[in-house]
Structure 1
Amino acid sequence: MHIKSTKCNRFCLVASVTNQEVFGRPDTQASFESLFRSFDPEVQFQYFKSFRRVRISFSDALAAAEARLRLHKSSFNGREMRLYFAQSVHIGSPRLEPPKPDKQFLISPPASPPVGWKQSPDPTPVINYDLLCAISKLGPGEKYELHTATPTTPSVVVHVCEDHDDSSHDDSDHDDKPRPARPKIIQTRRPDYTNE
C-alpha cells in the first residue's frame, strides 16, 4: 500500500523571492546570503530561478528556526521575502509496484474468464431504409443533393458515374446485344504417372 506522508525538514528553509536580481547579480546574491550567514556560517544555497525560490540548508535546526522567525515577511531590496520550512514527501514503498490485478484480463486474457463474466450478445445491425431507398433511385448520370446550400455553407451533391465501355451506345441497345462469351479456363493436364 502506498501511503503519502509529508515531513517538515527542520534544517532547510525555502525562500520565496520576487526580486529577480538575486538570481542574476553577484553583489545582490552576496547581500542575500549575508542575511543567513549571520545565523549559521556553514549555510548552503541553491538557486531555482524559474521557480523564484532559494533553498537554504543549515547545519543546525535552531539556526534555521531563528532565521525563519526573524526574516519571514521581511523586506529585501524593497521586496517582501517569505520563508518556509522545506518539506520532503515520502510515498510508501521506495520501488514501483505493479498495478493491482483487477481488470487485467482485458490486456492479457487468462485461461478461464473471471467470475461473473458474461459474453455480451452482438447487437442487431441497423438498416437505414431511407439511405437504401435514395441509393436505389439513383441512376447513371444523375445527381443527388445530400445537403442543401445555406448562406454560410455550400451544398453537397453526389454525382453517379456513368458506365464507359469501349463503344458508346444507349442502354436500350446494350440489352439487345448478346454479351461476349467468357473465356474458358483450360485445366492443365496432369503428367503421366511412371512407376520406376
Structure 2
Amino acid sequence: MVRVKICGITSVKDALFAEMAGADAIGVVMSDESKRDVTPAQAKKIFESLGPFISKVVVTHTKSQEKLNEIISLNPTAIQISTDIKIPDNYVGDLIRVVKSGESIPNDCDAVIIDDSRGEGIKYNPDFSKKTVKISDIPVILAGGLTPENVAEAISGIKPYAVDVCSGVELNLGEKDNFKVLEFLRACGKIPEVRRKRRN
C-alpha cells in the first residue's frame, strides 16, 4: 500500500486530523518564501501534538546553515530539502532531496521527492516520474498537482513509494479541508469504502 504525506500543515488541529484519518506523515514548511511557512515554535507545537507512529517532516528551501540547525533541533523524522546545502553529521533523521523534471537522482539522501510544484498545484510529469521510479534504488515520493480525483490514477501509473499532497486538500491557503483529506486517503487505499447493506 502506498504511503501518504499530508504537507503544508500549519495547525495542530489539521495535524491531528491527518493522523487520526490515517496519514503516514505530516509535513510542515519552514522557509521564509513559502506562504505556508511556520515558525520553529509552531512546528514544535505541531510535532509534540502527534503520536510516535506518524512521521514528522520539515520541508525547507533554505540555504542557511543556521536555519538548518534550527530545523534539526526539532528532531524531525525527516528533512525534505530542495537546495544542495550540506547536512551536518549530527543529524540522525532521514534526508529527502527534491528532484525536478530532467534532474538526476542525488546520491546523498534516503529518498527523493519528485516535485516541480512546491505547493502550487503544478501537475507532476508522468514520463519523468515513471523513469525515476524505474531507475531509483531509493524510495521515490510523488508530488505535484495531486488531488482526491487523480491520485489513484497516479499511483497506478507511476507506482511511487509514497504520495505527497498539499494544495490538493486545502480549504484555504494553509488550512486543510477535512473532507478532501479523507477523500484523498480513501483514494490511496488508506480508508476502506463503506457500503451499506440493502434492506429487503
On whether the aligned pair clears a TM of 0.5, the verdict is no
In our comparison, the structure showing a higher alpha carbon Rg is: 1
Q: TM-score scaled by structure 1?
A: 0.18
Q: TM-score scaled by structure 2?
A: 0.18
